[in-house]
Amino acid sequence: MRGLVRWSSKWWPGTIPLAVIWALAVWSNTSPLETELAGRSTEALKDIVLDKSKIAVSGRDVTLAADAFSEEGRRNAVAAIEAVPGVRLVNDETRLIPEAKPFVWSAERDVVRVTLTGSSPLPVTKGKLLEAARAGLGGVEVVDQTNLSRGAPPRFDEAALLLLDQVVRLKDGKITISDTKVSLAGMARDLGGREAIAAALKNLPEGFSVAANEIKAPPYVFQANKDPVASTVTLTGYVPDNNAHAAIVAATGRKFFNEKVVDNLKNSLGAPSGFSNAVVPALGALSRLSTGTLVVSEREVKLSGDALYDAAAGQLRANLIKDFPQGWQLKADISVKPAAAPVDATVCQQLFSEVLAKGTIRFESGRSSIDADSAGLLDHLIEIALRCPATNIEVAGHTDTDGDGSTNQALSEKRAQAVVDYLVRAGLPVSRFTATGHGSAQPIAANDTDEGKARNRRIEFVVKEQP
């Protein structure tokens, strides 16, 4: 033993190379060791739910910064890293995520996007809700601005998922969960959407209740747009039922002699009373416009566009409201189309023939009263007559061979006269027109079919130069 003490006093020279070995070990091993420990620590945290977890290793000391969702989760995380072999110390920089009180989550929909705000209990819930929103809303942009917080009520996920399904039914609005109270505001996308949402809210998980449901039904809107360039009249919006749908489309077809009817109407309950009785005359007014739009919203009719001539605009402004049922309102914004260039008698005759080839002036059966459906056609005829002021026009009535000759002769004369009266009321000078009746004497088609007879029942305009 004494020898060992004696020898050991001579061991010191070895400490110099030993220090070099130490320095080399430090130089070559510090970084690899830290990397190794960081990897093992990350692995140890794999099954613990944390947010924003960050591991920093300095030597053998691990600094763990993370947001934990419970005190227990926080303790478990620190313990898991302490158990990693080689770790000397754990600097615990974890914190509990703040508790939200009340715990508020909301989904807001506007024109372009859906925004999720407020609190989410766990990252997995946050992800699940965002994914559900994206799946339910198709191509609509979804923005997730939720923060993670503690304090969510039990069965929060279930409630939020159910409410996200309701966001799909909204045009715009906001659905909020505040602790266990659900409140909704906004407007449903479709008629009936409000009711569907109310029904779905009955399935909210236990413990949740509806504090306020202020979802509004969308207004009952019907629209018609006359496009003279595409030569179409487009119907969109709602109609009460199949019968009204068919009646409105048929009336549109009769009133718009020159346009193709594009029918995008949907059937839906909730129409204001007198809907069809207001829409049909309003469509008649639209048919008298060169270009225009008709919007029927609840009990208000908005008509805008260009009339073909001054008197027509005046008639529409003054008389259309009289055709509506009680309680309906009209907002007419009607201007007058600039007058077209004058034409000579030949062109004038050609224009009349073209228009009358597309549409026929209709009368009530067996009588000489002009059917209201022909107002649009007559306005076009009047517009043409205004373009050739230096001509006289013979308005000639024709009938088919049904009934006896003298009756037909008288009917054709009366109908021609009714048309002349209509033109004069529109402001044309009476001196330019003569009404003649030809009865069934000048057929343009055989009278043995209904189709032929219909072609023979007609009014013709014959243009003559003024002497």
Residues that bind another protein (CB under 8 A): 2-4, 6-15, 17-18, 21-22, 24-26, 29-30, 32-33, 36, 58-61, 85-86, 88-89
Q: Tell me whether residue 62 or residue 191 sits nearer to another protein (CB atom).
A: 62
| Least gap, CB of 38 to another protein (angstroms) | 13
| Least gap, CB of 43 to another protein (angstroms) | 14
| Least gap, CB of 92 to another protein (angstroms) | 14
3-class secondary structure, 207: coil
Q: Tell me whether residue 21 or residue 269 sits nearer to another protein (CB atom).
A: 21
Mark out the alpha helices in 256-374 (DSSP H runs): 275-287, 310-319, 345-358
Asked if residues 87 and 167 have their Cβ atoms less than 8 Å apart, the reply is: no
Structure tokens at 341: 């260039």
| Least gap, CB of 10 to another protein (angstroms) | 4
| Least gap, CB of 156 to another protein (angstroms) | 42
Q: Tell me whether residue 3 or residue 338 sits nearer to another protein (CB atom).
A: 3
Residue identified by tokens 């715990």 is: 103
The angle formed by the CA atoms of residues 391, 392 and 397, to the nearest 5 degrees, is 135
Q: Tell me whether residue 89 or residue 390 sits nearer to another protein (CB atom).
A: 89
Q: Tell me whether residue 2 or residue 202 sits nearer to another protein (CB atom).
A: 2
Distance CA 209, CA 202 (A): 9
Q: Which residues contact 132 (CB under 8 A, 6 or more apart)?
A: 161, 164
In order of 123, 358, 450, the CA distances from 383 in angstroms are: 70, 16, 31
Q: Tell me whether residue 11 or residue 199 sits nearer to another protein (CB atom).
A: 11
Residue identified by tokens 């615990």 is: 92
| Least gap, CB of 52 to another protein (angstroms) | 23
Q: Tell me whether residue 13 or residue 467 sits nearer to another protein (CB atom).
A: 13
Asked if residues 94 and 68 have their Cβ atoms less than 8 Å apart, the reply is: yes
Distance CA 405, CA 79 (A): 112
Tell me the torsion sign for CA atoms 281, 282, 284, 285. Answer: positive
Q: Tell me whether residue 15 or residue 442 sits nearer to another protein (CB atom).
A: 15
Helix (H) / strand (E) element for 463: namely strand 458-465
| Least gap, CB of 79 to another protein (angstroms) | 17
| Least gap, CB of 129 to another protein (angstroms) | 41
Instruction: Estimate the crossing angle of helix 275-287 against helix 375-387, to 10 degrees.
Output: 20
Task: Evaluate the omega torsion of the peptide bond into residue 102 and state whether it is cis, within 30 degrees of 0.
Answer: yes
Residue identified by tokens 């055989």 is: 446
